[in-house]
Amino acid sequence: MNSIFFPPEWYPQSAVQLTWPHPKTDWGYMLEEVTACYVNIATEILKRQKLIVVCHDAGLVRYELGNKTDLLHNLILVELPTNDTWARDHSGISVFNKGKKQVYDFTFNGWGLKFASNFDNRITRGLFKNNVFGRDVELINKKDFALEGGALESDGKGTLLTTTECLLSPNRNSFLPKDGIEDYLKKSFGLDRVLWLDHGYLAGDDTDSHIDTLARYCDEHTIAYVKCEDKDDEHYEALSKMEEQLKSFTDYQGNPYRLITLPMAKAVYDEDNERLPATYANFLIMNDVVLLPFYNDLEKDNQAKKQLQKAFPTREIIGIDCSPLIRQHGSLHCITMQYPEGFI
């Protein structure tokens, strides 16, 4: 029996974190548009759970949330300097260690030194200094290892699902070989095994194929994943190989996973005609609902919602237009981080 428990996303939650856009983030040129998207996501969270918002100007965030005064009892505002807004990757990662509540503070180095991260790398410490977490929650310094939340999928039963492309990228933890990284993950998260996906990517993705863009645990027996049906699409071969590998995996009891396909999002391009990484796998599981990114494509959006409902029959699936988010190469799950019950 492992002494460390890495809760899956469907484990009861106390709060979700957002890091709010401001003019000095990469959102500066489209701030009004992306803020409206953040307000929509924040509203759905505030209706149900506590919401931590890391921001530059608490008064401005209150103003932007507008007439949501009936929900603001669930709002926790913390003013801290930030480089950008990808909370999934710069936030702490929660575990239970012999029953103790701990938040791991890994190094966030801008997805392998691609972008500035000096402020974002200090956000978790800043939240502790501002007494956001409960008194019985410990901050555990893990700055010797670069790791982002979007790279990890836990089944809550001792299995981690991740990608070799991300965790073995040279600018993260090149001082360790693959077996060394696997050993580190097992010890840190109380794992019995790590399932490595060797295939699958999305054009325009800056994260080196985070698992949360491709394949997600929905429960300990079920994985939802992106399937490409179009043989002319550049992703077809890699995602087909990913599908075959997923079919070869077994759950913690040794049985094949129940696999649920999510449609490949319609191709979206930026102003330079570069493809953007729109994906329906980037959903957020909450206590009673699942927030699903939509991309202004009625047919594909509805198809994704219908498929995901199969994985979450007792939860409402709420679609939110995340077209603004993919303009900076991320989506709904990328901007959120959940904390387990009792942590906030």
236-266 pLDDT, tens digit each: 999 999 999 999 999 999 999 999 999 999 9
Each residue's pLDDT tens digit, 150-160: 999 999 999 99
CATH number (domain holding residue 15) = 3.75.10.10
**Predicted local confidence at residue 66, as pLDDT:** 87
Helical pair 31-46 and 58-65, crossing angle rounded to 10 deg = 80
CA distances from 299 to 14, 213, 221, 291, 293 (A): 34, 20, 28, 18, 14
Beta strands 137-146 and 100-107, pairing class? parallel
**CB crowding 104-129: b at 16 or more within 10 Å, else e:** bbbbbbbbbeeeebeebbbbbbbbbe
**Tens of pLDDT along 33-71?**
999 999 999 999 999 999 999 999 999 999 999 877 788
- The domain containing residue 283 runs over which residues? 4-340
| Cβ atoms within 10 Å, residue 187 | 11
| Model confidence pLDDT, tens digit, residues 270-316 | 888 999 999 999 999 999 999 999 999 999 999 999 999 999 999 99
**159 contacts 191 by C-beta, under 8 angstroms:** yes
Arithmetic mean of pLDDT, 191-196: 98
- Mean pLDDT, rounded, for 69-91: 95
What is the tally of structural domains in the chain? Answer: 1
* Inter-residue contact 249 to 299 (CB < 8 Å): no
pLDDT reported for residue 1: 61
CA distance 108 to 90: 6
Average pLDDT, the chain: 96
C-alpha 40/C-alpha 45 separation (Å) is: 9
- Please give the Cα distance from 205 to 91 (Å, whole number): 19
Virtual torsion, Cα 105, 115, 294, 70, nearest 10 deg: 50
For residue 75, how many C-alpha atoms fall within 13 Å in the half-sphere facing its CB? 23
* pLDDT for residue 344 is more than 80: yes
Q: Residue 111: how many CA atoms within 13 Å on its side-chain side? A: 20
Name the pLDDT band for 86 (thresholds 50, 70, 90): very high
The pTM of the whole model exceeds 0.85: yes
Q: Which residues of 229-240 are buried (b: 16+ CB within 10 A; e: fewer)?
A: eeeeeebeebbb
Percent of the chain with pLDDT over 70: 100
| Assigned token pair, 120 | 């974002």
pLDDT for residue 151: 98
Copy the structure tokens of residue 263. Answer: 């449609």
Q: Is 314 exposed, middle or buried (0-12, 13-18, 19+ CB in 10 A)?
A: exposed
Enclosing H/E stretch for 193: strand 193-197
pLDDT for res 56: 96
194 or 72, which is more confident: 194
How far is the CA of 78 from the CAs of 53, 57, 59, 125, 308, in angstroms? 6, 9, 11, 12, 33
pLDDT of residue 67: 73
